[in-house]
C-alpha cells in the first residue's frame, strides 16, 4: 500500500493500492465484527472525505463499500445509510437509486418503506415523475435510446381490477400520459416477467414499485455482480449490493466480487456522467 494525500498525486501503478489515511480510529481497540461507535464515526468521516475530493473534481466517481447502520447510530450519525449521507453532504434532494447487473437496470419508486407505506405511495403523479427521472438517468449514463418498463404491483397486473386496482387507477394513466409527452415507456408489465424481458434486451430499464420487488430480481439473477448506482448527485456513486456481514468478518469467507464490480461500473460510466453534468 502507498499512502497519498490526494488522488492527483503521482502515477497509479498495477499492484499498488494508494490510500488516503485520515488517521481517525485506533485500530488497537477496534474489535472486528462488532457494532462500535468509533467505527461508525470513522466510516462517516471517510465518506465526508470522499465527497470533498469528488466535489473538488479530484475524482470523477466514487465506489463505496458497505457501512453498518447500527454503528452509525451508535456514533449519533443522523443518517440511515449511504445514500442519505451523500444527499445530505451535497445538498441533493431525493437522489435516484439504480441497480445494474449485466444489461438489467432497475430503478425504485420507493425504497426504505414498509410494504404498506410503499403501496400508498403508488400514485399517478409519482410514477409519471419517476418515468421522467429514469429516462433522464439512463441518458446520464450515455444510453440515448431505450424503453423504460413500469412493473405492475398486483399479481398479473391486477387482471383488470380482480386482484387490486392500482394498475387501473395509477399506473396505466401515468404510462399513457408519459407516452403522450413523448417518453418511451411501457407498462404495467407483470413483475413475474418484466425483469426477464429486460435481461433479454427488450427494456433498457425497469421501474420497480417497491424495494424488494427489484432487489430480489437483480440479486437472484447474480447476487455478487449486482451493483447499486446513485444518480442525481454532483458525481456518480456506485456501491456493492450487500451489507457488512459481521457474522463472517475476519474469517476469510467474504467475497470481493461485488466491490470489484462496483469499481468497474464506476469507471464504465464516470465520464458519461460528468459530460452530461457539464452539458456536453
Asked if residue 72 lies in contact with residue 109, where contact means CB atoms within 8 angstroms, the answer is no
- Domain 96-228 fold is Isopropylmalate Dehydrogenase (3.40.718)
pLDDT at position 158, please?
86
Q: What is the pLDDT of residue 209?
A: 96
Domain pair 1-94+232-280 / 96-228, same fold: yes
Per-residue pLDDT for 108 more than 90? yes
pLDDT in tens, 159-197: 888 888 999 999 999 999 999 999 999 999 999 999 999
Task: Label residue 113 exposed, middle or buried (CB < 10 Å: 0-12, 13-18, 19+).
Answer: middle
Q: 1-94+232-280 belongs to which homologous superfamily?
A: Isopropylmalate Dehydrogenase (3.40.718.10)
Average pLDDT of the residues in 247-270? 93
- The predicted pLDDT at position 1 comes to 78
Report the number of secondary-structure helices (H) and strands (E) in the chain: 10, 10
Domain boundaries, the chain: 1-94+232-280, 96-228
Query: Chain-wide mean pLDDT for the chain?
Result: 93
What's the pLDDT score for residue 61?
A: 95
Look up the pTM and report it. Answer: 0.89
In this model, does residue 112 exceed pLDDT 90?
no
Q: What is the pLDDT of residue 104?
A: 94
pLDDT tens for each residue of 43-92: 999 999 999 999 999 999 999 999 999 999 999 999 988 999 999 999 99
Q: Residue 15's pLDDT is what? A: 85
Amino acid at each position: 500500500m502507498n499512502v497519498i494525500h490526494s488522488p492527483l498525486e503521482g502515477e497509479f501503478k498495477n499492484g499498488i493500492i494508494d490510500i488516503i489515511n485520515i488517521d481517525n480510529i485506533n485500530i488497537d481497540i477496534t474489535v472486528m465484527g462488532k457494532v462500535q461507535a468509533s467505527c461508525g464515526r470513522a466510516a462517516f468521516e471517510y465518506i465526508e472525505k470522499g465527497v470533498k475530493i469528488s466535489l473538488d473534481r479530484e475524482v470523477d466517481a466514487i465506489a463505496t463499500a458497505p457501512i453498518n447502520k447500527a454503528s452509525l447510530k451508535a456514533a449519533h450519525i443522523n443518517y440511515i445509510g449511504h445514500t442519505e449521507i451523500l444527499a445530505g453532504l451535497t445538498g441533493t434532494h431525493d437522489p435516484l437509486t439504480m441497480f445494474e447487473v449485466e444489461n438489467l437496470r432497475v430503478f425504485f419508486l420507493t425504497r426504505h418503506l414498509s410494504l404498506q407505506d410503499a403501496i400508498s405511495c403508488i400514485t399517478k403523479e409519482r410514477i409519471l415523475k419517476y418515468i421522467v427521472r429514469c429516462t433522464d438517468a439512463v441518458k446520464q449514463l450515455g444510453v440515448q435510446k431505450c424503453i423504460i418498463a413500469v412493473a405492475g404491483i398486483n399479481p398479473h397486473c391486477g387482471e383488470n381490477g380482480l386482484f387490486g386496482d392500482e394498475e387501473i387507477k395509477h399506473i396505466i394513466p401515468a404510462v399513457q400520459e408519459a407516452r403522450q409527452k413523448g417518453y418511451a415507456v411501457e407498462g404495467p408489465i407483470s413483475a413475474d416477467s418484466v425483469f426477464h424481458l429486460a435481461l433479454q434486451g427488450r427494456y433498457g430499464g425497469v421501474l420497480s414499485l417497491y424495494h424488494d420487488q427489484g432487489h430480489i430480481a437483480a440479486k437472484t439473477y447474480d447476487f455478487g455482480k449486482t451493483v447499486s448506482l446513485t444518480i442525481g448527485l454532483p458525481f456518480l456513486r456506485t456501491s456493492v449490493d450487500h451489507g457488512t456481514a459481521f457474522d463472517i468478518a475476519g474469517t476469510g469467507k467474504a467475497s470481493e466480487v461485488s466491490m470489484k464490480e462496483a469499481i468497474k461500473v464506476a469507471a464504465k460510466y464516470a465520464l458519461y456522467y460528468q459530460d452530461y453534468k457539464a452539458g456536453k
